[in-house]
Amino acid sequence: MTMASQAGSGHLAEDPSLGQTSDLAIVTRNLRKVFGHFVAVDDLSLTVARGEIFGLLGPNGSGKTTTINMISGLLPPTHGSVTVFGHDIARDPRAVRAMLGVVPQETALYEELSAWHNLAFHAALYSVPRRERDRRITVLLELVQLADRRNSRVSTFSGGMKRRLALARALLHDPHLIYLDEPTLGVDVQSRRAIWDYIFNLKSAGKTVLITTNYLEEANALCDRLAILDHGRLIVMDTPTHLKETYGGTVIDLETEAELSPTLMARVRALPGVNDVRQQKGELTISVSGERSITGEIINLVTSEHPLRSISQREPTLDEVFLRLTGSAVRD
């Protein structure tokens, strides 16, 4: 599913491949949130399809959290609208919250209660029928591979186990939309892989998943599409693959015996097709685009000043695309 790259122009990003409104899980139109004189979200329009894993990315302060809070009904927009599965959040917030499961960055579990009692308490909050409660808790503990620890206190769990229990809690009332804030923050590699598998299973089950993450490798692996925000505005919305094709081109990595002079760096940057040049301790990373190969010209320029130790070409990472679009790293 490919969507043309969309800047935050204030118009809804329409994609024929997403079908009719009934196929959409989330629609925001000209969404704006102002705190005093500070504009946190500025004219944001985006769409999330049913059954899609959608990533919302941006540097700290880009407006991600404010956007999520408006979608969840925790904050009223200053202007614009949000609909979730056809329900206007301003008119029917209770219906939207009933369809939403949330795994926050801080798991907020009751540490002195067992895994079972944490889920039982949540089931009561969401009015899960008592006759259904035990079955659902059993199924979900098996899903997240915690059935053998059902009676253990959460205080004895590892970070990865707590994230998995928080995921089970979010699924307990069978929501249509699951929001995951930094789903694998602070977990080990093995637990991260397991959580990724659960997220793919959610998609297979027809759920819609909304993710915010600072791990761009994770966004690349999981998300069907991404929206990148900066200063409250939508910079681009597209698939990870098309983003890398459109904004990345080819990356040439060079290692030289010494750093290039500022004059030579400027000459490399001036070559047609060169998008970006970065240098650190004799290692050059050059992003190029266009059909004409300019690798030879780059090598000739660089070797006029210093011999090469190594050279390689690769496709760009999502981190490099993000840096080019926003001018900052995702954790800045």
Residue 253, pLDDT score: 92
Do 280 and 226 lie in one domain? The reply is no
Do 183 and 255 lie in one domain? The reply is no
The mean of the pLDDT values for the chain is 86
Do 238 and 268 lie in one domain? The reply is no
* Beta pairing class for 208-212 and 53-57: parallel
Q: Which domain holds residue 7?
A: 1-99+175-189+208-245
Assign 305 to helix, strand or coil: coil
Q: How many residues does the chain have?
A: 332
Where residue 273 falls (left for φ over 0; alpha for ψ -120 to 50; beta otherwise) is left
| Interval 102-119: pLDDT, tens | 988 888 899 999 999 999
Do 293 and 219 lie in one domain? The reply is no
Residue 20, pLDDT score: 53
Do 254 and 180 lie in one domain? The reply is no
Do 84 and 183 lie in one domain? The reply is yes
**Residue type for 108, please?**
A
**Using alpha carbons only, what angle is made at residue 47 by residues 170 and 41, rounded to the nearest 5 degrees?**
85
Both tokens of residue 117?
A: 């009692």
Do 23 and 75 lie in one domain? The reply is yes
Do 12 and 69 lie in one domain? The reply is yes
Q: Which of 228, 245, 262 is the last residue of a domain?
A: 245
> Per the domain annotation, does 134 fall within a domain?
no
pTM for this entry: 0.79
> Per the domain annotation, does 122 fall within a domain?
no
Do 61 and 181 lie in one domain? The reply is yes
Do 182 and 228 lie in one domain? The reply is yes
Do 86 and 180 lie in one domain? The reply is yes
**Using alpha carbons only, what angle is made at residue 235 by residues 221 and 42, rounded to the nearest 5 degrees?**
125
When divided into structural domains, the chain yields a total of: 2
**Contact status, residue 84 vs residue 100, Cβ threshold 8 Å:** yes
> Per the domain annotation, does 324 fall within a domain?
no
Do 43 and 70 lie in one domain? The reply is yes
Both tokens of residue 327?
A: 């001018």
Residue 310, pLDDT score: 92
> Per the domain annotation, does 265 fall within a domain?
yes
| Interval 173-208: pLDDT, tens | 889 999 999 888 877 888 888 889 989 999 999 999
> Per the domain annotation, does 322 fall within a domain?
no
Q: In sequence order, what are the residues at sequence separation of 6 or more whose Cβ sits closer than 8 angstroms to the Cβ of residue 12?
A: 27, 29, 45, 46, 47
**Residue type for 170, please?**
A
